C-alpha cells in the first residue's frame, strides 16, 4: 500500500521532535488522522501562530511575542544579578522555584565543538556586552551539569572573570549529567541559594 504523500510529510515533520523516531512519528500521524482531526487542526494552527509570533527578546534572548520580554521590563527584578541558562525551558524551571529575582540571559544552546557549536553560536558576544554594561554585578551560571554544560560554564566564567565580573555557579544539588528542565523546583531552588563563586 502506498501511503498518501501528505501523511508521509506529517510523519517526517513529527520526526523533528526530540525523542521521536520513525515508528512513533508514524503512530502519532495515524492517530491524529484516524481519531483526532480536530486536534490535528488545532496543532497546525498553534504551530503556525507560534512560528509567526514568537521571537527572541532583544535583551535576554529568551522567547517572547514582544521586542523585550516581560522579565526584562519587570521593575521588581534585581538588575545587578544575571543568570545564564541554556534554554528557555531552563529559565522557566528556575522561575518556578520563586527564589530568583534577577534577570536572565538565554544561550539557546551550549558549547559543543564536536557538533560545530562554538562561542558565536551561543551568542557569547551578546552575553559579554550585557554582563559588562556597568549594571550587572554578578553572573550566575546555571548551565546544565553535563560535559558540554560544564565546558560552557567554564568558558563563560573565564571570559567574564577576565573582565572583572563576579561569577558564581549553581551548587551541586543538581545531579552530574542532569538537565535543569528535568530537575524538581525544590532542588533548583536549593542550588540557586547555595551557589558558589567560580
Residue 160 resides in a domain: yes
- Return the CATH number at 148: 3.40.1360.10
In a domain, 58, yes or no: no
Q: How far is residue 41 CA from its own chain's centroid?
A: 27
Report how far residue 136's alpha carbon sits from residue 44's, in angstroms, rounded to the nearest whole number: 41
pLDDT tens, residue by residue, 138-151: 999 999 888 899 99
> How many domains, in total, are found in the chain?
2
- Shared domain for 41 and 67, answered yes or no, is no
Identify whether residues 132 and 104 lie together within a single domain.
yes
Q: What is the pLDDT of residues 82-133, one digit of tens each?
A: 999 999 999 999 999 899 999 999 999 999 988 999 999 999 999 999 999 9
Average pLDDT over residues 163-186: 75
- State whether residue 56 is helix, strand or coil: strand
The boundaries of the domain holding residue 22 are 5-53
Rounded Cα distance, 44 and 67, in Å? 25
Question: In CATH, what number is assigned to the domain containing residue 24?
Answer: 1.10.8.420
Residues 16-53 have pLDDT tens digits of: 999 999 999 999 999 999 999 999 999 999 999 999 99
Amino acid at each position: 500500500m502506498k501511503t498518501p504523500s501528505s501523511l508521509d510529510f506529517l510523519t517526517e515533520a513529527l520526526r523533528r521532535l526530540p525523542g521521536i523516531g520513525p515508528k512513533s512519528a508514524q503512530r502519532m500521524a495515524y492517530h491524529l488522522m484516524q481519531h483526532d482531526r480536530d486536534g490535528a487542526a488545532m496543532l497546525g494552527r498553534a504551530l503556525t501562530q507560534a512560528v509567526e509570533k514568537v521571537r527572541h527578546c532583544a535583551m535576554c534572548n529568551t522567547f517572547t511575542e514582544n521586542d523585550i520580554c516581560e522579565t526584562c521590563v519587570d521593575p521588581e527584578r534585581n538588575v545587578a544579578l544575571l543568570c545564564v541558562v541554556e534554554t528557555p525551558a531552563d529559565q522557566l524551571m528556575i522561575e518556578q522555584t520563586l527564589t530568583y529575582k534577577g534577570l536572565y540571559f538565554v544561550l539557546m544552546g551550549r558549547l559543543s565543538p564536536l557538533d560545530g557549536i562554538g562561542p558565536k553560536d551561543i551568542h557569547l558576544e551578546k552575553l559579554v556586552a550585557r554582563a559588562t554594561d556597568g549594571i550587572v554585578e554578578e553572573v550566575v551560571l546555571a548551565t546544565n551539569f553535563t560535559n558540554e554544560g560544564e565546558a560552557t560554564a567554564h568558558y563563560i566564567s573565564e571570559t567574564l572573570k577576565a573582565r572583572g565580573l563576579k561569577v558564581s555557579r549553581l551548587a551541586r544539588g543538581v545531579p552530574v549529567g542532569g538537565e535543569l528542565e528535568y530537575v524538581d523546583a525544590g532542588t533548583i531552588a536549593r542550588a540557586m541559594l547555595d551557589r558558589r563563586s567560580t
